[in-house]
Structure 1
Amino acid sequence: MKGQTLKENKDFRRLYYRGKNEASSALVTYGMKSRGNGVRYGITTSKKIGGAVERNRARRVIRAAFRNIEPQINGSWDFVFVARTRTTKCKEDVVERAMLAHMKAMGAVDEED
């Protein structure tokens, strides 16, 4: 099952205002159970975190970490991941650990892992 990407501004805003959020030094995660079928995600990288090269690297690392965690997600969820300045310097496994901890706290992933 491949996660679909969020593209509409209204979907991002809905998660920012009504979703649960978790933050760490490497990543901010907004999540919300959805009525649809499957998992959808979006990635936000502000110009504050660096130039185009840094922003693209942050998106690539977040996308790779999400791909590894996605099979463990229970049910239908929407997620928005916000990159931080440190994300551009982090390895994928650091971001993946932070993302997994955030999803466990939200209840999207079982605690047993």
Structure 2
Amino acid sequence: MSNDLMRKQSKNILNAINNFVSNTGLNDVKTTFDSKTGIASVIGNKDGFQYTTTLTKHMNGVVQTTTQFATNLGKEALISQIKALRKQGYKQQQIADMLKISQATVSKYLRK
């Protein structure tokens, strides 16, 4: 995954997402954009890993965060990862998208 997500010709966050998707070779890509918060996400998988790249628009630029997880985590590792992501402030649906599981599964494992 490239750390240089924003190319010079990218005028805004939506152009950056389109460039990223067309240049990375991810499969099963899901993109989201919340215009109210200025947060965009690109989620997909490649070579046995689930990748999530989040862009947060700020007044003078964009902050990029990238996560990578194995697609077949065991149950205990999955529960541990879900709880760690929740402690970092991610919402249940964001965690579900990152790990390619349902939001109901995230909710169930957070109660354990």
Computing the radius of gyration from Cα coordinates, the structure with the larger value is: 2
Give the TM-score normalised by the residue count of structure 1: 0.36
| Structure (1 or 2) with the greater strand fraction | 2
Greater RCO, 1 or 2 (C-alpha within 8 Å, sep 6+): 1
Give the TM-score normalised by the residue count of structure 2: 0.36
